[in-house]
Amino acid sequence: MTTPELTPSVAELEAQERRLVFRSFTHADAWALGSLLVELARERQAPVAVDIHRAGQQLFHAALPGSTPDNDAWIVRKRRVVERYGSASYLVGARFRAKGTTFEESSRLDPDRYAAHGGSFPVTVEGVGVVGAVTVSGLPQLQDHRLVVEALERFLGE
């Protein structure tokens, strides 16, 4: 018998965002973080695509075996949520669910352009704010979110 994954609360998700903050974020940081995500995904044989954007520029992208062009489309939609709300895509969806609704029903945004599903996390720089997003697509949304958080925790030495 498998134990169901516990869904994190809005407060837990907000705490992750407060903790996982960079002092600076360079092209080299994007490469190192993206490479770490790829390494973690390969260890798990996860069929994901990984993407890191900063200030509208793609700094890293990798597509692992089993990922598809659909994963790239999901990356774009999830990243747009981070860029619009300044919060993780999973957290944005959780906030709507906590209000008894869904992002799709209540955001008034085109679901073909925005997806409040787990896997995109803001790149936040201390004293600056959100400058980009790191995104994974290919697993169930909570697993996508957790993979990104694990990589950020390791990268930031948490």
Give residue-wise pLDDT tens across range 101-115.
999 999 999 999 999
Which phi and psi angles does 30 have, rounded to 5°? -60, -45
Is 144 a domain residue? yes
d(CA 111, CA 74): 11
Is 1 a domain residue? no
Contact present, 39 and 60 (Cβ < 8 Å): no
Is 83 a domain residue? yes
Is 5 a domain residue? no
Contact present, 135 and 50 (Cβ < 8 Å): yes
Count of the separate structural domains present in the chain = 1
Is 44 a domain residue? yes
Is 4 a domain residue? no
- Write down the pTM of the prediction: 0.94
Q: Which range of residues forms the domain containing residue 117?
A: 10-155
Q: 1 falls in which pLDDT band (50, 70, 90)? A: very low
Is 43 a domain residue? yes
Half-sphere exposure of 86 (CA within 13 A, CB side): 8
Is 57 a domain residue? yes
d(CA 154, CA 90): 20
Give residue-wise pLDDT tens across range 102-148.
999 999 999 999 999 999 999 999 999 999 999 999 999 999 999 99
Q: The domain that contains 31 carries what CATH number?
A: 3.30.450.150
